[in-house]
Chains A and B, each alone.
Chain A
Amino acid sequence: KAGVTQTPRYLIKTRGQQVTLSCSPISGHRSVSWYQQTPGQGLQFLFEYFSETQRNKGNFPGRFSGRQFSNSRSEMNVSTLELGDSALYLCASSEGSLNTEAFFGQGTRLTVV
């Protein structure tokens, strides 16, 4: 079974631009969550999608948004990029039922210059 696939792996953007990151979950998994990892803040939860609906949301500004498609693939969008958005963005997939393990992708390293 293929793991969680995130594209692209690396991205460099300019302040003020917007970016879209993609995540393909493990086959059969219906929940996709997004996390941001920075040296200062650690791993922080952005949001979770389940069956195309946002089920949970973290404490990030509205510039961070996401969506999930009928095939469970998910995209995350960040608009009006700031230097502080530079981070490793991680996607995790799980079956979606209570208390199941989440499996992470390799991440997308975003650098904002």
Chain B
Amino acid sequence: DQQVKQNSPSLSVQEGRISILNCDYTNSMFDYFLWYKKYPAEGPTFLISISSIKDKNEDGRFTVFLNKSAKHLSLHIVPSQPGDSAVYFCAASEKGRGKLIFGQGTELSVKP
């Protein structure tokens, strides 16, 4: 029972364009969502988060959108840079519970 799903295993984008990574969830009790970036053999690096009381959060080139009715969130990276190439994980948690449920990840490749 996968509660957090990233249906695209990979995404390729041209440098300077927008990268859009998508994530769907099934558990309506989730109220906090996070995006992490990960390189092989390293731990995930926190990028950006959003609470369920918001529908958008922005930090520099990264924006996360949350659509609660559709149980869908997305990460926008504008403009994309070659250094953004990595695996991106979305994660969700329930209020009061300190565990994160991760999606399977999307490998982003930004081509110069």
Interface residues of chain A, those whose CB is within 8 Å of chain B, are 4, 6, 31, 33, 35, 42-45, 48, 50, 55-56, 58, 88, 90, 92, 94, 96, 98-99, 101-107, 109
Contact = CB atoms under 8 A, between A and B. Distances in A.
A90 B44 contact: yes
B103 A48 contact: no
Interface string B71-112: 000000000000000000101010111111111110000000
B98 A33 contact: yes
Contact of B42 (A56, A98, A101, A107): A107
Contacts of B99: 33, 45, 48, 56, 58
Contacts of B49: 99, 101
Contacts of B97: 56
Contacts, number: 64
Contact of B44 (A44, A55, A104): A104
B34 interface: yes
Contact of A107 (B31, B32, B41): B41
Contact of B41 (A4, A50, A105, A109): A109
A102 B31 contact: no
Nearest to A56: B99
A103 to B, nearest CB: 6
A56 B42 CA distance: 24
B34 to A, nearest CB: 6
Interface residues of B, number: 26
Contacts of B44: 43, 90, 104
Contact of A106 (B43, B89, B98, B102): B43
A109 B51 CA distance: 32
Contacts of B104: 42
A48 B99 CA distance: 7
A107 B43 CA distance: 6
Contacts of A43: 44, 89, 91, 100, 102
Contacts of A109: 41
